[in-house]
C-alpha cells in the first residue's frame, strides 16, 4: 500500500493517534493535517494536493467529523 490521506476531526486525535501508530508500524506513510501542512502553505491549498498524491483516502467517520467543515470539504 502507498500513502494514506487521513480525513478526521481534530477532536478525534486521541483515537487517530492509535491508528497512526498502526499505520507507521506497518510501514505505511500518511498525510494528516495539521502536521503535514508545509509551513508556508494554507490548508485549503495543501489538502487537495495531498489527496491527489495519496493512494488511499481514509475517512475516520465520527459524529464530530460529520460536523466538521473541513472534513466535508475534503
pLDDT, average across residues 43-58? 91
The pTM for the full model equals 0.84
Q: Which long-range contacts (CB under 8 A, 24 or more apart) does 26-35 make?
A: 28/1, 28/3, 28/4, 29/2, 29/3, 29/4, 30/3, 30/4, 30/5, 30/6, 30/54, 31/3, 31/4, 31/5, 31/6, 32/5, 32/6, 32/8, 33/70, 34/10
Predicted confidence band of residue 31 (pLDDT cuts 50, 70, 90): very high
Amino acid at each position: 500500500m502507498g500513502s494514506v490521506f487521513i480525513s478526521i476531526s481534530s477532536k478525534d486525535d486521541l483515537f487517530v493517534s492509535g491508528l497512526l501508530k498502526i499505520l507507521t508500524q506497518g510501514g505505511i506513510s500518511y498525510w494528516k493535517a495539521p502536521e503535514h501542512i508545509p509551513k508556508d502553505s494554507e490548508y485549503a491549498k495543501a489538502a487537495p494536493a495531498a489527496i491527489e498524491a495519496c493512494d488511499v483516502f481514509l475517512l475516520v467517520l465520527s459524529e464530530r467529523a460529520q460536523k466538521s467543515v473541513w472534513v466535508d470539504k475534503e
